[in-house]
Structure 1
Amino acid sequence: METIADKSRDDELRNMDHNPVSAKTQADKDLVSSIKEKLEAVSSLKSIFRVPLKLLEVNENMYIPGTVSIGPLHHGKDGLKYMEDRKWHYLFTLLSRQPNQLESSLHECVNALSDLEKPARNFYAEELNLRSNQFIEMMLVDGCFIIELLLKYAIKGIRRGGDPIFVTPGLLNKVRCDLILLENQIPFLILQRLFQIVLVQVQHDQTLTLSELTFRFFRKQLPGDREFVNEKFSQEGYHLLDLIRQCYLPNYARVVSKKSVSQGDLESATKLKKDGIKFKRSKAKCLLKLKFSNGVLEVPPFTLHHFTEMLFSNMIALEQHQNDSQPFTSYALLMQAMV
């Protein structure tokens, strides 16, 4: 027996057959929808990559986490399992800081991350072999671990005695270094959304923003004076490494050279001096803002720290996957040639 639904569908098909304009309109809609899906997939911004093999072969230790895994690329590795219990402990502490709010906060976080799962996955250049619940749990644990770490670092009063990250000599610096690795990132939008849910009132009505907490934690990794860097640090970033990277970038537009320059064309400082080039300490706040004028090369001062090589190595690794300028790669090649 023909149902009402069958009759309605048959009538619709007959109408489309007798109305080529209607049929074409539907076909156009289907085509547009299909193309839109493909465009969204292509245009989704990838910002978390594997380090190129050519860089790993030089010094793998610059790119591989040795203490804590963040995100999917090193998740569950044997050498990093020690910190997994600490991450879960931080998650519990963060969500239970407000009395009787643990379960409701947990539900709200999971629901929020469920909504962000698709865009969060799109940040990663490779297909992730994680089921939805695994991915969401990992983002929750890792994201809350980072937020609680930032809070504990900025607000000593909320630290509990015996926290190994803060009492074990050198452990905090190891964790901090792992958080700037390209392969050890989660999207900053995950941190922002979780922070909105677990927002903690600090002193009186003063609330520290996520950008301010992150700035304080990574202050030693950042260049220039506090006001200059803090202003740039408040800008949006794709992840923690990208936030730090933006602080080093100059504000002026990129200048495109009309001539291709290879590494072999670069001269040492000794050779440049012999050729009459003078060197001057620049007052520029931006490390990458080198200036050459009237035979004088102005170079901003640069302080080396134990993390400097690791930080620059990972910013250079990030640039290898980008189609625009590569300022850190260029800077490193210039310094290497001049020294």
Structure 2
Amino acid sequence: MTEMEDSISDVEIEELGNSMKDELINYLSLNIVHANESEFCLIPKIHDYIRVIDRDSYEPIVLSIGPYHNGSPEFSCMDREKWNCLDYILRLNCKKGLKDYVTIINGLEKQARRGQCQYQENTQRIGEWYNIFVLRDLFLLENQIPFFVIQGIYEEVVSKFPNKMETTDACLSSIAQCLEQHVQYHPKAIQESNRPKDFDHLLHLCHMYFRPSSNQDECHSDTAHYIHHFLQLGQDYLNLVYKQEAANFSLSQNGHFPYQWRWATQYHEAGIKFRRRAYFKCRPHSLLDIKFRDAVLEIPFLFVDESTSSLFRNLIALEQTSPNVGNDVIAYVLFMAKLLSMSDDVALLSRNGIVAHHLRTDREVSQLFTKLTKGVVFDMYGNYYLKHLCLALEAHYQNRLHKWIAWLRHNHFSNPWLAVAGLAGAIVLFCTVAQTFLTVLSYVDPR
């Protein structure tokens, strides 16, 4: 082979360069960030190493929306219902034809594809379970479509109304109401007056309802609380048992403090009490609003059923693939997974009205949360909303005096008769010591 035959011609080099240039332009066009970030909606595909942990939690059962599961034969039974829904939309505004809606979708197609790598059923024909699965499928991360697509279609439908903006706001409120029904067993800080109006898709809206509320850190101006805190500091100083507490709230030499999250039974043995956080309409809280104060850990009510795993997995996947939404759900799930490590932990929180479940055993609840943490990437030394609470819990747990008092209370003062007997014994011991002291004193000083 000659040198001329081995080299690439100028024409081939030019063609290769043009081809690579086109590929580069195409690649860069897929990463356009809009000036208004609300217009950009990322709907990622779940990675295989995450999907293999629990495939059923990420894949629809009866309803496919969007491109990821489109065309799958198991969803062909829903095609008729989709055509029925299209016919219903076309009847809402007779002045608009199918071409008008296709034009709207065509204009939004590129914007929708950049972020991607109301259903009604006949219950008499299919059954209530079908509706339940449809509702579940609507909150899968891969089964979302950007809300601006829905909004664009809706604006075409209501274009005949003069108060178009008010009608659009009513649509947003209706969607939020439907979501509130879906998460009705979970406490919500969002009320009717502050329902979200800017969200990417249904799962993103659901995530907003789960976020910690802004009022979770209640005002601590209570005088009794300050007195208790002052006495506690004095006790810690005199007994020298809280040396590690200062280290908990300050950085060590390498910038990290080696604390850890513990089981509910371990915190219980250290004197920490568990209480279901009371819900007040005047000051509502969300599922993630956990509070620790005066050795009492208040946790919002948690209802666990067969759909809990799928919902939390997709919320976690949303946070792992969209950093802009934060990591609050991940922090909550990891904390609860550690807190509910064993069936005894689940039983402890159930007795205190914090956890209620429809699973067969407490062990299944524990295993559910343990499996939710598999494949999750989380920096426990980074910034997250439960960090200060976890540091305070560890400081309390490391206090030997707290453990000793808790041991006495659990083993000797749990029964009122034992408490009375213990008090009587202490009185007798005091009297015996006093009598002995007076007897010895009478011998030393007969006067």
Query: What is the TM-score of this pair, normalised by structure 1?
Result: 0.68
Indicate the residue corresponding to 2:14 in structure 1.
none
Q: Pick the aligned partner of 2:137 from 178, 193, 207.
A: 178
Alignment of 1:295 with 2:285, yes or no, is: no
Q: Contact between 1:245 and 1:315, CA under 8 Å: does it hold in 2?
A: yes
Distance 1:70 1:274, change over 3 A: same
Q: Equivalents in 1 of 2:310, 2:60: separation in Å?
A: 11
* Aligned amino acid, residue 85 of structure 2: Y
Q: Equivalents in 2 of 1:51, 1:274: separation in Å?
A: 41
Matches within 5 A, 1:162-173: 164=122, 167-169=125-127, 170-173=129-132
**TM-superposed deviation, 1:238:** 0.5
What is the aligned-residue identity percentage?
Answer: 26
Distance 1:329 1:254, change over 3 A: farther
What secondary structure, in the 3-state scheme, does the structure 2 residue paired with 1:320 have? helix
What secondary structure, in the 3-state scheme, does the structure 2 residue paired with 1:335 have? helix
Distance 1:39 1:57, change over 3 A: closer
Q: Contact between 1:249 and 1:286, CA under 8 Å: does it hold in 2?
A: yes
Q: Pick the aligned partner of 2:175 from 210, 214, 233.
A: 214
Matches within 5 A, 1:226-265: 228-252=190-214, 265=260
**TM-superposed deviation, 1:200:** 9.8
Distance 1:38 1:54, change over 3 A: closer
* Aligned amino acid, residue 202 of structure 2: L
Q: How many residues of Structure 1 are paired with residues of Structure 2 in the alignment?
A: 265
Indicate the residue corresponding to 1:122 in structure 2.
114
Q: Equivalents in 2 of 1:305, 1:254: separation in Å?
A: 26
Q: Contact between 1:69 and 1:184, CA under 8 Å: does it hold in 2?
A: yes
Between 1:169-178 and 1:210-219, the stretch displaced more is 210-219
Distance 1:201 1:272, change over 3 A: farther
Distance 1:105 1:327, change over 3 A: same
Indicate the residue corresponding to 2:262 in structure 1.
267
What secondary structure, in the 3-state scheme, does the structure 1 residue paired with 2:292 have? strand
**TM-superposed deviation, 1:59:** 1.3
What secondary structure, in the 3-state scheme, does the structure 1 residue paired with 2:44 have? coil
Distance 1:63 1:269, change over 3 A: same
What secondary structure, in the 3-state scheme, does the structure 2 residue paired with 1:164 have? coil
Q: Contact between 2:216 and 2:289, CA under 8 Å: does it hold in 1?
A: no
**TM-superposed deviation, 1:317:** 1.1
Deviations 1:124-169 (A, max 9, x none): 1x1xxxxxxxxxxxxxxxxxxxx3x2xx5xxxxxxxxxx5356421
Deviations 1:220-265 (A, max 9, x none): 3235668834445433111111011111112439999967689x92
**TM-superposed deviation, 1:47:** 2.0
Q: Equivalents in 2 of 1:249, 1:166: separation in Å?
A: 37
Matches within 5 A, 1:40-79: 41-43=31-33, 45-79=40-74
* Aligned amino acid, residue 331 of structure 2: S
Distance 1:165 1:106, change over 3 A: farther
Q: Equivalents in 2 of 1:278, 1:177: separation in Å?
A: 35
Distance 1:239 1:189, change over 3 A: same
Q: Contact between 1:225 and 1:285, CA under 8 Å: does it hold in 2?
A: yes
Deviations 1:206-230 (A, max 9, x none): 9582223323333332356688344
Q: Equivalents in 2 of 1:257, 1:190: separation in Å?
A: 48
Indicate the residue corresponding to 1:316 in structure 2.
316
Q: CA RMSD in A?
A: 3.6
Indicate the residue corresponding to 2:445 in structure 1.
none
Q: Contact between 1:105 and 1:198, CA under 8 Å: does it hold in 2?
A: no
Q: Contact between 2:189 and 2:285, CA under 8 Å: does it hold in 1?
A: no
Indicate the residue corresponding to 1:157 in structure 2.
none
What secondary structure, in the 3-state scheme, does the structure 1 residue paired with 2:274 have? strand
**TM-superposed deviation, 1:323:** 2.7
Indicate the residue corresponding to 2:440 in structure 1.
none
What secondary structure, in the 3-state scheme, does the structure 2 residue paired with 1:41 have? coil
Unpaired runs of 5+ residues, structure 1, are 1-33, 127-146, 153-162
Q: Equivalents in 2 of 1:290, 1:78: separation in Å?
A: 44
Q: Equivalents in 2 of 1:257, 1:303: separation in Å?
A: 36
**TM-superposed deviation, 1:332:** 1.0
Alignment of 1:327 with 2:328, yes or no, is: yes
Q: Equivalents in 2 of 1:97, 1:166: separation in Å?
A: 25
Query: What is the TM-score of this pair, normalised by structure 2?
Result: 0.52
Deviations 1:54-94 (A, max 9, x none): 33222111110010110001110111111012101210122
Which structure: larger Rg?
2
